[in-house]
Chain A
Amino acid sequence: MFRYARRMLNDQGDAEEVVQDAFVAAWKALPDFRGDAPLRTWLFTVTGRKAVDLHRKKRAIPVEDATLTNRPAPGAGPAGQAIQAGLLAALGSALAELPWLQRAVWLLREVERMSYAEIATVLNTTPTVVRGQLARARAGLQHRLEDWR
């Protein structure tokens, strides 16, 4: 949940706030949890809603181009870790440029390994929409991470 919130909001402090609020909301609503969806899916739904609420309160902050392209040369220093850290930073910046729904779909599918049906439940949409948004998200990320090929 924290990982999802952090990548959605691109801010550690905001993610912490969102996950805390999500856990508290889930705890209070637990007696009403009907089990129609798995607990994990339900928790991600609550987290997503809290993230949207917070996102709406804040203005988007433009990402600097350098963040997307400045990366250590392969093989420099402890190359593996440095490249992975750089790739993660670039991924975070690239994700931040994607529309909210595409970002959520990509994270839930590629990072959290959810099925299309589960993602549709979390985001209150249909599996068909999930497929479409995922394709757009992949294309968008491919374009933005071109320099990391």
Chain B
Amino acid sequence: MTDDVLSRAARAARTSPEPGWFDISATIKHRLRSVTRRSRPIRAVADNGAPLFIADRVLMSLLSAAIAELRCELDRVQLIGDSDTCTGAILDVATLYGQDLHDLADQIRTTAYLVFTDLLGPIDPPFGADGVDITIIDLTTNTAPR
């Protein structure tokens, strides 16, 4: 049967090692290590009062992890502020259906502000949890958002 030939061909294509893949994967890894992603520096203060800068990517990564603890998923972060200062943020979040969204937004706001103060140090002027706006962009019935 020709169908058997197609099945055999598909199986052979699936199981045969790809020629040259070992060298190619090494080349790809080498190239990826040299690829940079753009990031915006955010002014922060070290424990000893010295100024330092934190990449916004680090901030977003920590925000995402902290918000995931609330069974929400951070979709987008917009940092508010001039140049390298952060004076507030807008967070787009997806979460589970059936919750009190006002309470949840308050929790997210508080959690997010803690991340800001932990990472950036004393914020001057402090924008407080009220400086963090939350937008619920999606509701899902899955146990984990999206």
Show the binding face of A for B, using Cβ within 8 Å: 2-3, 6-7, 12, 16, 19-20, 23-24, 27-28, 31, 34-36, 84, 87-88, 90-91, 107, 110-113, 138, 141-142, 145-146, 148-149
Contacts and interface: CB of A to CB of B under 8 A. Distances in A.
B9 A88 contact: yes
Contacts of A3: 13, 18
Given A31-B37, A35-B146, A142 B27 contact: no
23 contacts: A3-B13, A3-B18, A16-B20, A16-B24, A16-B27, A19-B24, A20-B28, A27-B37, A28-B35, A34-B75, A35-B146, A36-B146, A87-B9, A90-B9, A91-B13, A110-B6, A110-B10, A111-B10, A138-B6, A142-B6, A145-B6, A149-B1, A149-B5
B18 A87 contact: no
Contacts of B102: none
Interface in B33-91: 35, 37, 57, 60, 73, 75
Main secondary structure of the interface of B (DSSP, over half): helix
B57 A31 contact: yes
Nearest to A28: B37
Contact of B32 (A23, A91, A142): A23
Contact of B9 (A16, A34, A113, A145): A145
B24 A88 contact: no
Main secondary structure of the interface of A (DSSP, over half): helix
A2 B146 contact: no
Interface string B7-18: 011101110101
Interface of B: 1-3, 5-6, 8-10, 12-14, 16, 18-21, 24, 27-28, 31-32, 35, 37, 57, 60, 73, 75, 146
A142 B24 CA distance: 32
A31 B18 contact: no
A23 B28 contact: yes
